[in-house]
Chains A and B, each alone.
Chain A
Amino acid sequence: MRILVCVKHVPDTTEVRFDPATQELRVRQAPTKINNYDENAMEAAVVLRQALKAEVVVGCVGPSEAAKTVKEAVAMGADRGVLVTGPWVGELDAAGTASVIAGLARSEGPFDLVLAGDVSEDGYHSLVPGLVATALSVPFVRGVSALDSDSGGDLVSVERQVDGAVESYSVTLPAVLSVSTALNTPRTVTKLQVMKVPMSKVATRSAADVGVDEARLTPDAAATRLVGVRPAATPRSNEVVTGEPDDVVAQIIARLEQAGVLA
């Protein structure tokens, strides 16, 4: 059995800021990291690797700096990693990313299972895994919260939580699954373990190497293109109350009364 785990290299969104003075979004200055949700996919793959002697390959589409994210994922217990990169990665949309991952799955495959996290912390689209499944013409389940593979590895049983119900499916491989954080608790790796992953385990590929024409990866050719950003905060009155607890409580109640929220 061979498993591809899709891992995204993302900015730490808690460090991304909008500068109102320059109307600029400061993403580049933010520290970068592995997308948290993809760690759950990695954990699932490592468990399957032990149970089924599967080969686990980490796939990542990102800037050359993303090699550190690939190494981190490999350190969790993958056999090797592949980073697909090029000048086009900066403004790639979800559909473009999916086309590159599908190309990677074909050129490094065939894969029995493609795993990914449900969403990425930066764009929060939750589109890429389903688009990859469509491109590869294989079944897809999103939000996997339990995963069991039969010993032969032709079939997996999964559960997922939707609004108001838990559903279970039997899925024929090959398939694409995106996993929820409820699936497992990802193992943690130390900086030393990441450092010990030899660079020979991380291959770098271009779009052409995975059979994708770079001309199709431009912002104009993309399905979606970011054309503007603005701050999201709603202005608030920011009235400050401080002092003796009893006075503070009286002021809170006065404000609640004024707003009509007390019956």
Chain B
Amino acid sequence: MSALVIVEPGQDPQNLVALAQPVTDAVEVVVLAVAGLEAGEATAEVVAGLVSSRGADLVLLPATPRFAEVAALLTGRLDAACAPDAIALAMTPDGLTADRLLYGGVVVGTVALQRPVRVVTAVVKPLEGAAAAPEAVTPPAVAGKTLTGRTETAAEGGLANAERVVAFGRALRSQDDIALVQALADALGAAVGCSRPIVDDNKWLDLSYQVGLTGTTVRPQLYLALGISGQIQHLVGMRDSTLIVAVNTNPSAPIFEASDLSVVGDLYQIVPRLTAALAAR
């Protein structure tokens, strides 16, 4: 088996290389610049060309919105077997298999990839240090789809790479009370995150603050969850954190099954005192 890892210049290929290693030693990394290849069709055509010229039978792509489009188009084009958001690959009696989360993260499913070419996507980290030179490619023409504008957006809140996160949920009674959470986050040097109802229903914060399935996945040293019940869609976004501390008034809140320290109590009693105690240190 021969694997081809594709990343953009700012992305670290390491996670993708590590994912391929249990199934092959032949892993080649190719860096593709975005310019000219914005349309998924263009990237898919270039990658399909690389697959055939390198004789690759496993393609690993970053699990990002841009590459989600590419993965679907490449899979269709090559009649490949695709496992998006894979967390492990293995060679088994069922052939090459990929592990990935199903049903919002309730279970890990093992999926047999039953085609000669396999397309896999997985999370990548931002690259620290210098990127390898991008592959020289001629952007192919894309029929019926023309890029008419591209605006770089401000770097997001840094939640994804924060080493400490203080997140709050629907227990917060008013938007003004976010100040309490922010003060604690400041005392800990942490980024603020939240659950989905804060974004969707209350509209107090934008999507870049949301932790979970439809928000950001975080893996900090410390995740402090304040008044979050711990539904599976939230848990999948934070359960790989090193230390998880949850504060909840309900002793049987599901978040406690996912925490190292389960603090049964009222966040309004605990948060200001914790902030003061940290400040006094």
Find out whether the CB atom of A126 lies under 8 angstroms from the CB atom of B68: yes
Query: For the complex, what is the distance from the CA of A122 to the CA of B106, rounded to whole Å?
Result: 10
Find out whether the CB atom of B66 lies under 8 angstroms from the CB atom of A232: no
Contact with A along B207-234 (1 / 0, CB 8 A): 1000001100000011000000001110
Chain A contact residues: over half helix, strand or loop, or mixed? mixed
Find out whether the CB atom of B262 lies under 8 angstroms from the CB atom of A157: no
Find out whether the CB atom of B114 lies under 8 angstroms from the CB atom of A225: yes
Which residues of A lie under 8 Å from residue B102 when comparing CB positions? 122-124, 226, 229
Find out whether the CB atom of B274 lies under 8 angstroms from the CB atom of A253: yes
A152 interface residue, CB < 8 Å from B?
no
Q: Which of B111, B145, B273 contacts A226 (CB 8 A)?
A: B111
Find out whether the CB atom of B260 lies under 8 angstroms from the CB atom of A240: no
Query: For the complex, what is the distance from the CA of A14 to the CA of B236, rounded to whole Å?
Result: 12
Find out whether the CB atom of A248 lies under 8 angstroms from the CB atom of B65: no
Query: For the complex, what is the distance from the CA of A163 to the CA of B262, rounded to whole Å?
Result: 35
B257 interface residue, CB < 8 Å from A?
yes
Query: For the complex, what is the distance from the CA of A234 to the CA of B233, rounded to whole Å?
Result: 15
Query: For the complex, what is the distance from the CA of A51 to the CA of B64, rounded to whole Å?
Result: 33
Contact with A along B87-127 (1 / 0, CB 8 A): 00000101001000111111111111111000000000000
B242 interface residue, CB < 8 Å from A?
yes
Which residues of A lie under 8 Å from residue B274 when comparing CB positions? 249, 252-253
Which residues of A lie under 8 Å from residue B92 when comparing CB positions? 227
Find out whether the CB atom of A165 lies under 8 angstroms from the CB atom of B108: no
Chain B contact residues: over half helix, strand or loop, or mixed? mixed
Find out whether the CB atom of A13 lies under 8 angstroms from the CB atom of B233: yes
Query: For the complex, what is the distance from the CA of A142 to the CA of B109, rounded to whole Å?
Result: 25
Q: Which of B41, B94, B145, B258 contacts A236 (CB 8 A)?
A: B258
Which chain A residues numbered 1 to 39 have a C-beta less than 8 Å away from chain B?
A: 11, 13-14, 16-18, 25, 27
CB distance from B200 to the nearest CB of A (A): 8
B57 interface residue, CB < 8 Å from A?
no
Find out whether the CB atom of B231 lies under 8 angstroms from the CB atom of A166: no
Find out whether the CB atom of B261 lies under 8 angstroms from the CB atom of A255: yes
Which residues of B lie under 8 Å from residue A206 when comparing CB positions? none
Query: For the complex, what is the distance from the CA of A7 to the CA of B69, rounded to whole Å?
Result: 19
Contact with A along B222-252 (1 / 0, CB 8 A): 1000000001110110011011110000010
Which residues of A lie under 8 Å from residue B236 when comparing CB positions? 232
Q: Which of B40, B82, B111 contacts A142 (CB 8 A)?
A: B40
Known: A98-B76, A223-B80, A245-B270. A162 touches B233 (CB 8 A): no
Find out whether the CB atom of B264 lies under 8 angstroms from the CB atom of A170: no
Could you list 27 examples of A-B contacts with CB < 8 Å? A17-B106, A98-B76, A124-B84, A124-B213, A125-B84, A130-B40, A134-B72, A140-B40, A140-B72, A166-B151, A170-B146, A170-B148, A223-B75, A223-B79, A223-B114, A223-B115, A224-B111, A228-B110, A236-B244, A236-B258, A240-B251, A240-B256, A240-B262, A245-B265, A245-B269, A249-B270, A255-B260
Top 10 closest A-B pairs, CB basis? A130-B72, A134-B76, A13-B104, A172-B144, A142-B69, A139-B145, A228-B110, A139-B144, A223-B81, A242-B264
